[in-house]
Chain A
Amino acid sequence: MTNDSNMILEVRDLTKTYGDNLEKRIILKQINLEVKRNEFLCILGSSGCGKTTLLRCIAGFENYSGSVLVNGKEKLAPGIDRIMVFQDFNQLFPWKTVEKNVQYPLKLQGIRDKAELRKRTHEVLRKVKLLEYAHYYPHQLSGGMKQRVAIAKALALKPEIILMDEPFAALDAMTRNQLQNELLAISLEENCTIIFITHNIQEAIVLGTRIIVLEKGGNILIDRDNPIKRPVTPASEGYGAVWEQLHSALYQENKPNTDIIVD
């Protein structure tokens, strides 16, 4: 166990397989990963490389061998210290209004004071620009708005880590850009650690302070800090070089014996 108090998450020798002994498929093989506090880690990978499985293992939704430690303590089940924002728009409870969706987890944490609940809910809804939709039901919102509420719900809980599984993947390009900017602003404002799964290189460069590229089987091909000054645009200095490096890693992952590039 590391003594580095700045280290919020450690993944040790995590292996995930599906199927039985006769037909075993290895999805992730002995993954080791450390994430620092307040880091915005983007995990890039092609479809089926195991990035979502890795996130689900960290969230506690899957069985695996190895260990996941948050602040040095092993985690075996889902918990409010690791809040997941799913790709699916339908992750909000349709029977609760936007406000109640955000408040419900807070109530479960024992916050009963109505004024406190209101304050925290309104604070996060304002951050995601949805305060005026507090009394709407999820079915009355667009996909992008639902994802915003899911982010607000996560923020309100002030978890140790927010796990985001391609939350913007199903959105149109304009909404996606808008939400990326909002998330970036929120991450700069808040002290939060985010692990963000994507298969979009631009998204990883715009959002991440650190970027990892996974290949099939969960091998880490690239693990580097993002050197580009925020806010990142395609015109930012160094954008092309980073993009090129990530792109070639993503599309050459079938190449045998690819060396791990650590920046």
Chain B
Amino acid sequence: MQHNQKREKVHAVLVKVVFIIFILVIWEVAARMRIFGSRSELLFPPLEVIGKAFIRNFIEGYAGRSLWIYIGNSMLLLTKGLGIGILLSFLFSGLSMVSRNFYHIYNLMVSIFDLLPGVALLPVVIIIFGIKPDVIVFLVVHAVLWPMSRSILDGFLAVPQIYVEAGMNIGLRGAALLWGVYLPAAMSYILSGLKVGWARAWRGLISAEMIFGIATCPGIGLFINQMRTNMNNAEMYAILVVIIIIGLIVQYGILVPIENCTTRKWGMSK
């Protein structure tokens, strides 16, 4: 059984690696054949050029600052926004389980605000906060709060009645029941909310940074935008690779281990 599982894992990794190599080969062929003529250099810079740009981004960077600084700034704002967003989503979803009126109002708010793209709110947010990093934090909170709340609320509503009754039977009520039964029982929903929330936050952050850069706290989005403006497409692609790598690190370094330690271990997901 364990042997089979290990083989399955190795197989999955192998398939992914082969796929990535396949894409890279196609890219390189497209670059060398210059299939887009004069635009080929911009659309498909050879892998070697992108590789060099990748290193150059970290060493030279832009405007005298290494890409590390931009990444650091972005991650700082992202962490702040994610932290606040996750905290608020737990708080409001929890309150929704305690008060029926609050549930109705919050449910409506989630439905409304989840539809609004963060960048569409940008003009209003800038008027409120001014051109400050807080604007980005606000947009990250907006990106994570609503999908995360939706998942938590759905998760709470899907908790099997038998767990609730078993909890009440051993004396759990109110907040203790929420903490002791609802939260762990809704864990697979919460994790799925976390995945969606994180991805939305990451994209929201980069979009916001691309639209307006804050000189005191320049982030990855600003870096991409500058490369785009200057037609440094190899550098731009290199940053997209960085964005993907950060995304994968969060996915496989944080989210998957959390899943392994919780829902998978508990037999709640396969």
- Where the two chains meet, the residues of A that have a C-beta atom closer than 8 Å to any C-beta of B are 59-61, 77-80, 82-84, 86, 88, 90-95, 104-105, 108-109, 137-140, 157
Give chain B residues whose Cβ lies under 8 Å from the Cβ of A59.
Answer: 169
Contacts of A137 in B (CB 8 A): 265-267
Contact of B184 among A86, A92, A93 (CB under 8 A): A93
Residue of A nearest to B173 (CB): A77
In whole angstroms, how far apart are the Cα atoms of A88 and B265 in the complex?
A: 21
Inter-chain contact A139/B266, CB cutoff 8 Å: yes
- Tell yes or no: B110 within 8 A of A by CB: no
Q: Which residues of A contact B171 (CB under 8 A)?
A: 79-80, 105, 108-109
Which of B247-265 touch A at CB < 8 Å? 262, 265
Pair B165/A61 contact, Cβ less than 8 Å: yes
Q: Mark B166-195, 1 if CB is under 8 A from A, else 0.
A: 101111100010001100110100000000
B185 surroundings in chain A (CB, below 8 A): 93, 95
Closest CB in chain A relative to B124 CB, distance in Å: 42
Structural contact, B168 and A78, CB atoms closer than 8 A? yes
177-226 of chain B: CB within 8 A of chain A = 180-181, 184-185, 187
Q: CB of B162 within 8 A of chain A?
A: yes
B116 at the interface (CB under 8 A from A): no
Residues in A neighbouring B180, C-beta threshold 8 A: 104
Residues of A within 8 A of B262 (CB): 95
Are B170 and A94 interface neighbours, CB within 8 A? no
Q: Choose among A61, A90, A95, A105 the residue that contacts B170 (Cβ–Cβ < 8 A).
A: A105
A93 CA to B182 CA in the complex, in Å?
Answer: 11
Identify the closest chain B residue to A139 (Cβ): B267
What is the bound-complex CA distance between A148 and B188, given in angstroms?
27
Q: Are A104 and B165 in contact (CB under 8 A)?
A: no
Taking the complex as formed, is B35 at the interface, i.e. its CB lies under 8 A from any CB of chain A?
no
Q: A78-B168, A95-B185, A139-B267 are known contacts; what are 16 more A-B pairs with Cβ within 8 Å?
A: A61-B165, A77-B168, A79-B169, A83-B169, A84-B165, A86-B162, A86-B165, A93-B166, A95-B184, A95-B187, A95-B268, A105-B170, A137-B266, A138-B267, A140-B267, A157-B170
Residue of A nearest to B187 (CB): A95
For this complex, 17 residue pairs linking A to B, each with C-beta atoms less than 8 Å apart, are: A78-B169, A79-B169, A79-B171, A83-B169, A84-B166, A86-B165, A91-B162, A93-B163, A94-B267, A95-B184, A104-B170, A105-B171, A108-B172, A108-B176, A137-B265, A137-B266, A140-B267
Determine if B160 is an interface residue (Cβ-Cβ < 8 Å): yes
A82 to B165, CA, bound (A): 12
- Which chain B residues border A138 with CB–CB below 8 Å? 267
User: Which residues of B are found within 8 Å of A86, using beta-carbon distances?
Assistant: 162, 165-166
Task: Return the chain B residue nearest A141 by Cβ.
Answer: B267
Nearest A residue to B165 via CB reads A61
What sequence of 0s and 1s flags, for each residue 45-57 of chain B, a beta carbon within 8 Å of any chain A beta carbon? 0000000000000
Given contacts A79-B171, A137-B265, is CB(A90)–CB(B162) below 8 Å?
yes
Interface centre among B162, B180, B181 (most CB of A within 10 A): B162
CA distance in complex: A29, B163 (Å): 29
| Distance of A197 from chain B, by nearest CB (Å) | 15
CB pair B266 A95 closer than 8 Å:
yes
Q: B162 — which chain A residues lie within 8 A by C-beta?
A: 86, 88, 90-91
A137–B261 Cα gap in the complex (Å)? 13
Pair B267/A78 contact, Cβ less than 8 Å: no
Residues of chain A lying within 8 A (CB to CB) of residue B163: 91, 93
Residues in A whose Cβ lies below 8 Å from that of B268: 94-95, 139
- Tell me the bound Cα distance from A139 to B268 in angstroms: 8
Q: Which chain B positions have C-beta within 8 A of A157?
A: 170
Q: Across the interface, name the chain B residue whose C-beta is closest to A163.
A: B169
In B127-170, the 8 Å CB interface with A consists of: 160, 162-163, 165-166, 168-170
Q: How far in angstroms is the closest Cβ of chain B from A61? A: 6
B163 to chain A: closest residue by CB: A93
Residues of B contacting A78 with CB < 8 Å? Answer: 165, 168-169
How many Å lie between the Cα of A82 and that of B176 in the bound state?
Answer: 19
Q: Distance (Å) between the CB of A254 and the closest chain B CB?
A: 32
Q: Which of B169, B185, B262 has the most CB atoms of chain A within a 10 A radius of its CB?
A: B169
- Residues from chain A with a CB closer than 8 A to the CB of B165 are 61, 78, 84, 86
Which of B187, B262, B266 has the most CB atoms of chain A within a 10 A radius of its CB? B266
List the 3 shortest-distance A-B pairs measured between CB atoms, nearest first: A139-B267, A105-B170, A95-B184
- In Å, the complex CA distance between A78 and B169 comes to 5
> Would you give the shortest CB distance from A109 to chain B, in whole angstroms?
7
- What residues of B have a CB within 8 angstroms of the CB of A104 in the complex? 170, 180
Measured CB to CB, the closest approach of chain B to A43, in angstroms, equals 19
